[in-house]
Structure 1
Amino acid sequence: MRHLIDLLDGDVAAAYVDAGLAYRPRYTPVMRVLGEHGSASVGEIAAYAGISQPAATQTVALMKKEGLVDTRSGVDGRQRRVQLSRAGQAMLPRLRLCWAATAAAAASVDAELAFPLSQCLAEAIAALQRRPFSARIRAARSTNEESA
């Protein structure tokens, strides 16, 4: 799994460089949410993107340092709203082209496999959401200890 991720992440990152973009693939979930919704709280970004709130918080902080997003106070002043900066908005059309190319490349990989990778990953994610891997490890450990 780690080797597959390394192969995919490296090539996706290189595709952004080839497109002339100074952009990290980890920004994509946040960029997609803000491109669709305009602005959102970090909690909303996490929920819409299907990522953890700590991951959303860290990613937004990195994107703010790079000038891709701005933050402002929400209506009640307690919640911060995140929105694309001018630089982030300017980057969005080129990113959408990269995302389309990446989706087409993923579809071409699926077409070469006996069982589509995208379907397999979706099923694996669903299975792990039903029962986390840590619970499965604990169960396997207790089974091994009982048989020892």
Structure 2
Amino acid sequence: MKQGLGTQLRHLIELLDGAVAASYEEAGIDYRPRYTPVMRALAEGTPRSVGQIAEAAGITQPAATQTVALMQKEDLVTTMPSPADARQKLVRLSARGQALLPRLQQCWAATSAAAASLDADLPYPLSTTLAQAIDALRQQSFGARIRAARVRLSPVPPLHDHQEKS
């Protein structure tokens, strides 16, 4: 039986994230792969709001908020009130996060080389295919595609609230 797209993607993420997590462990770094987009967004040293981190990292604001909270518990980042608006928090790398950055950058370079190696082994580079898939889903969401497919495939019109349901 052919696996569905979601199952394949979850399995791919498990394979990739598992290997990346193991590489951090092998390097003697206590670090989770999910922190990387935030670390990269903060690596230049400029404090940023969670919204700015999310935008720079290419992740959602809720994901950035959750990740920053986890990283704060592990003393990788610190927060401070924004001088422009005290209601807004700015995030920056802690001393521990800054000290870890050079070792992480070495790991990221190795991960990038491994990703290039994977791309070279495939008929179509995975990184390019993923970027194209993301762009296509920005044009038409997967939810919209499901709804359109349901209409095309369904011989029975969907029930609406004003119709009697049996």
Q: TM-score, normalised by structure 1?
A: 0.96
Calculate the aligned-residue CA RMSD, in Å: 1.3
Q: 2:126 aligns with which of 95, 100, 117?
A: 117
Indicate the structure with greater helix content.
Answer: 1
The CA distance in 2 between the partners of 1:3 and 1:127, in whole Å, is 22
Task: State the partner residue of 2:31.
Answer: 23
Q: Residue 97 of structure 1 corresponds to which residue in structure 2?
A: 106
Paired letter, 1:113: L
Match of 2:143 in 1: 134
Flag the 1:134–1:37 CA change in 2: closer, same or farther, 3 A: farther
Name 2:13's counterpart in structure 1.
Answer: 5
Query: Displacement of 1:146 after TM fit?
Result: 3.9
CA contact (8 A) 2:80 2:91 kept: yes
Radius of gyration: which is bigger? 2
Q: Structure 1 residue 147: deviation in Å?
A: 7.0
> What letter corresponds to residue 118 of structure 1 in structure 2?
S
Question: How many residue pairs are counted as aligned between the two chains?
Answer: 148
1:47 maps onto 2:55 in alignment: yes
Counterpart amino acid of residue 13 in structure 1: A
- Unaligned runs of 5+ residues in structure 1 are none
Counterpart of 2:49, as a letter, is S
Deviations 1:5-57 (A, max 9, x none): 11111000100101111100000000000002521000000111111000000
- Which amino acid in 1 is paired with 2:109? A
Q: Return the structure number with greater relative CO, CA threshold 8 A, min gap 6.
A: 1
Greater mean alpha carbon deviation, residues 107-116 or residues 53-62? 107-116
Q: Which runs of 4+ in 1 moved over 2 A?
A: none
Identity over aligned residues, as a percent? Answer: 63
